[in-house]
Amino acid sequence: MKIFLDGAFVNKDDAKISVFDHGLLYGDGIFEGIRVYRKCIYRLEEHLERLWYSAKDILLNIPMTPEEMSEAICESCRVNGITDGYIRLLVTRGKGDLGLSPASCPRASVIIIADTIRLYPEEHYNVGLSIVTVPTRRSGPAALNPAIKSLNYLNNILAKMEAAQHGALEAIMLNDQGYVAECTGDNIFIIHKGKLYTPDVSNGALRGITRSAVIELAEKADIPVKECNLTRHEIWNADECFLTGTAAELIPVVKLDGRVIGTGKPGPLTQKLHAAFHEEVSTRGQML
Given the rule CB under 6 A, which of 76-84, 118-126, 207-215, 254-262 is the region that contacts ligand PXG?
A: 207-215
Residue of 39, 149, 255, 265 marked catalytic = 149
Does residue number 246 form part of the binding site for ligand PXG (CB under 6 A)?
yes
Given the rule CB under 6 A, which of 12-20, 64-72, 185-193, 222-230 is the region that contacts ligand PXG?
A: 185-193
Nearer to ligand PXG, 208 or 262 (CB): 208
Amino acid symbol at 280? E
Q: Phi/psi at 195 (nearest 5 deg)? A: -110, 150
Q: Is 21 helix (H, G, I), strand (E, B) or coil?
A: strand
CA angle (212 as vertex; 209, 214 as ends), nearest 5: 110
Q: Name the minimum Å distance from CB 87 to ligand PXG.
A: 9
Binding letters toward ligand PXG, positions 211-240, x by CB under 6 A? x-----------------------------
CA angle (130 as vertex; 127, 133 as ends), nearest 5: 160
Which of 54, 92, 175, 187 binds ligand PXG (CB under 6 A)? It is 187
- Our answer to whether residue 149 is catalytic in this structure is yes
Nearer to ligand PXG, 43 or 95 (CB): 43
Concatenated DSSP letters for 26-40?
H--EEEEEEEEETTE
Q: Is 10 helix (H, G, I), strand (E, B) or coil?
A: strand
Does residue number 210 form part of the binding site for ligand PXG (CB under 6 A)?
yes
Does residue number 249 form part of the binding site for ligand PXG (CB under 6 A)?
no
Beta bridge partners of 122: none
Nearer to ligand PXG, 85 or 185 (CB): 185
Distance CA 198, CA 152 (A): 24
Distance CA 266, CA 260 (A): 11
Does residue number 33 form part of the binding site for ligand PXG (CB under 6 A)?
yes
Nearer to ligand PXG, 42 or 74 (CB): 42
The footprint of ligand PXG on this chain (CB under 6 A) covers a number of residues equal to 15
Distance CA 101, CA 179 (A): 34
Distance CA 2, CA 47 (A): 22
Which of 186, 196, 201, 277 binds ligand PXG (CB under 6 A)? It is 186
List binders of ligand PXG among 99-128 (CB under 6 A). none
Binding letters toward ligand PXG, positions 133-162, x by CB under 6 A? -----------------------x------
Concatenated DSSP letters for 240-275?
EEEEEETTTEEEEEEEETTEEPTTSS--HHHHHHHH
Given the rule CB under 6 A, which of 97-105, 179-187, 233-241, 253-261 is the region that contacts ligand PXG?
A: 179-187
Nearer to ligand PXG, 206 or 230 (CB): 206
SS3 for 193-231, per residue? CCEEEEECHHHCCCCCHHHHHHHHHHHHCCCCEEEECCC
Residues at the contact surface with ligand PXG, assessed by CB under 6 A = 33, 88, 156, 182, 185-187, 206, 208-211, 244-246
Residues recognised as catalytic = 149
